[in-house]
Amino acid sequence: MARHGGGRGWYGKVLGAALGVTLLATGASVWTAQAGAEGGSSPKATASATPGGGVKPVAVTIAHASDEGARGVNITIDDGPDPVWTPPMLDVLREHGVKATFCMVGTQARAHPGLVKKVVAAGHRLCNHSVSHDTTMDRKSQAYQAQQILDAERMIIEASGGVRPVYYRAPGGAFTPYSRKLAASRGMRPLGWNVDSKDFERPGADAMVATVERELPNGPTILFHDAGGDRSQTVEALRRILPWLKERGYSCGFPVR
């Protein structure tokens, strides 16, 4: 799982909006998480409640496998929601009967709550992708990491109308042992990827399709983006990849939790 994206890039413009966001009441203390993974859940999956109104911890290890088994594939879409490109991606997914995992940036979710609700209503799952997509957060303090994870969690829950993110994907794969434990303690399984479509570089739909076809034997979790610029190539690549997967006997599911 290599780092992806262009650093903080376009997210620099939203960092100012994040500066006024305060830590949740839970604070930035060191969290612990149980190693046992949680079982499967519905398309609108939420972290299991525990007595006292908390959430059930999940495994701290980085998930890659699919809940559809050996022929399962996980479509994951990062960095949105985006008012221009998330809707056509939702259309393509609906046309092919595929559910995906949307890894949302907190400030984007807060800016576009209607889109977050549409993603949930369509049966897709939510993933926390931090407040501001800082790909260097693994080199920052634990307090900063906690702010990025916990505030994004709150923003996504508020935007969705109460539906919790059930995964946490570190920006650019910048996980730390602390961030994984913190996310897992909040019911968000750390989520990696096996196949990077390279759509962030906009190499053309043909190149994206070829990359997925070539690298799928590496594992089932495929990375796409619905924000950060023109994603028309990604929409076209998805339109071609989804039927290709079905023709070869793959089933699209969700990452294991």
Active site (catalytic) residues = 78, 225
CA distance 255 to 143: 28
Listed in sequence order, the residues at least 6 apart from 53 whose beta carbon sits closer than 8 Å to its beta carbon are none
Measured in whole angstroms, the distance separating CA 31 from the mean position of its chain's CA atoms is 21
